[in-house]
Amino acid sequence: MNKDPDSLLKKRPALIHSEHLQVSSHVQREEGDWILHTLMISNYDVPFIYKRKQRYKDLVGARVNLSYYPSTQSRGGFDFEIMKVVRLRHS
């Protein structure tokens, strides 16, 4: 299965791919059997969220390539814009 960004973008036009982004904050918290990861990226006001089965090393200060979808999440009756990450790689 080929998961390079170009092939993913061709199959899914709503997908966004960004490269060489700097992580300014990385929070990991348990959500059931999953670990929910929330990244804040320098010069972006929107959280980037993804799930993994296990904890991951801290990404603060790292440069990453992200493939993600814009989405909204409802918390406390308010809708918040988020980015759902489908692919994360170190750049």
**What is the residue-level pLDDT of the chain in tens, covering all 91 positions?**
456 666 666 677 788 999 999 999 999 999 999 999 999 999 999 999 999 999 989 999 999 999 999 999 998 999 999 999 999 999 8
Instruction: Name the residue among 6, 54, 17 with its Cα closest to residue 34.
Output: 54
State the Cα–Cα distance between residues 48 and 65, nearest whole angstrom: 12
Find out whether 69 and 14 touch, Cβ atoms under 8 Å: yes
Find out whether 87 and 69 touch, Cβ atoms under 8 Å: no
The reported pLDDT for the residue numbered 1 is: 47
Residues in the chain: 91
Find out whether 71 and 82 touch, Cβ atoms under 8 Å: yes
Class of domain 5-90: mainly beta
